[in-house]
A and B are shown apart, each in its own frame.
Chain A
Amino acid sequence: MRASFASRAAARVRARSSVEDGIASKVECLLEALGADPAFADAVLGDLTEEHARRAARDGARTARWWYVGEALRSAPHLLASAVRHASWRRRARLSAYIAAVLLAPAVAVIALFGGNGLPAQLVADMGSAADIVVNNVRPVQLAMRVLDAAGHVLPDTGVRYRWSAGVPVPVSSTGVVTCTQPGDATVHASLGPLTTRLTLRCRPVLDVRAFRMLNIVVGGPVAEVPFLAVDADGQRVTQLRGQITVEDSSVATVNVTAEGKQLLRARAAGSTALNVRIGDRDAHMEVHVYERASTPEGIRPGQHLAVPVQVRGGDMRQWRLAASPELY
């Protein structure tokens, strides 16, 4: 099981709205589209209306109306996050498809408008988001671009050329081999014939990935982020990361990446497995032990992993007896 992640959201939804009558009903539609819980949406809309009335009396109707629109838009990401958190898996899939459609619509429209016949029409970075490449490698790394035609079909790379143009001095070969010798941002131009794309290369070299050597989690227990720390040459934490987390046995535990780039470790079934975090060209390896809930560890059989809830106050002591296994020889 392998999960890739990027530490920043891939893109932002841009919303534009005109100020006109019936804003409240539009905001209500927005909340409904975002899948907000009706009681939750009611509370938010009620607050907006109440504060709008107060501001209209104090600052005038026009100022209050602008406040209302701005506040509704400011609230939208939080409401979307809340809707996603509380939605069923099916609903989450629908929301994801909805968000993806909103994000992809401009690209699809451009391709439809300027459609071609299989000739290279777009250069898109194959690492990170479209024009933003995070490099955590210390050793030289090959930049990767996808060549697309106007319909969005991937074409073979027939020789994209690269050159550094601004920012921190980073060696960039014409074939796109980059060596992040220091942290910082650089601008790199990628070109293929008449096509040129400007990329922001975010050099964030990671010298070490520090992690616990052993993780213990419980089936049905809280889902936690994979605990690791990526550090640079000065031992400072690196926050912009691209990498992969691999779990050896996905029947025991899995890693899911959220839209915010968090890597959540989920226990599936009791057992042991290994987890590998790879950032740039550095790795961290962890043992993962998954336990199933039980009321007592007494009578535990070889190979079993049991997690027993314990509740104690000052002066309390609990005791359990564990049997030795029979002699084999």
Chain B
Amino acid sequence: MLPDGDEQHMPRLAIVGAYCGPALDTHSFFCLAKRDASVFVYHSRVGDQTREVNGTLAVWRQPQP
């Protein structure tokens, strides 16, 4: 679910097509993809729209068990 607004003016992450749960810190989570999944990075229109925000999306794919 993507947020409608964003009071913190920070980009959000959403994952579709996977079961996700919290990981060891507040910014990350573990997901189980039983089929193809999609990851979205979304930045709301709230605030200064012209301001570019740079960040890094880090993905770690666990080895197969």
Q: Do chains A and B touch in the complex (CB under 8 A)?
A: yes
Which applies to chain B's interface (DSSP): helix, strand, loop or mixed?
loop
Counted as pairs of residues, one from A and one from B, with CB atoms less than 8 Å apart, the total is: 124
A218 touches B61 (CB 8 A): no
Distance in Å from the Cβ of B38 to the closest Cβ of chain A? Answer: 5
Establish whether residues A319 and B39, one from each chain, have CB atoms under 8 Å apart when the complex forms. Answer: yes
The size bracket of the interface on A is 35 or more
Given that A320-B39, A324-B35, A328-B64 are contacting pairs, would A313 and B57 also be in contact in the complex, using a CB cutoff of 8 Å? no
Contacts of A300 in B (CB 8 A): 59, 61
Which of B's residues lie within 8 Å of A, judged by CB? 11, 23-25, 28, 33-65
A308: which of B34, B51, B56, B64 is its contact (CB, 8 Å)? B56
B60 touches which of A291, A311, A320, A325 (Cβ 8 Å):
A291
- Is A301 within 8 A of B61, CB to CB? yes
Beta-carbon nearest neighbor of B43 in chain A = A312
Are A302 and B64 neighbours in the complex by a CB distance under 8 Å? Answer: yes
Q: Mark A309-329, 1 if CB is under 8 A from B, else 0.
A: 111111111111111110010
A315 neighbours in B (Cβ, 8 Å): 43-45, 49
With the chains together, A78 CA to B25 CA distance in Å? 37
Pick the contact of A314: B34, B36, B48, B56 (CB < 8 A). Answer: B48
The interface residues of chain B lying within 8 Å CB-to-CB of A297 are: 39, 57, 59
Knowing that A303-B63, A311-B54 touch, tell me 11 more A-B residue pairs with CB under 8 angstroms.
Answer: A214-B25, A303-B62, A308-B56, A309-B56, A311-B55, A312-B11, A313-B52, A314-B49, A318-B41, A319-B39, A322-B38
Task: Indicate if A305 sits at the interface (CB-CB under 8 A).
Answer: yes
| Residue of chain A at shortest CB distance from B51 | A313
Complex Cα–Cα for A272 and B63 (A): 12
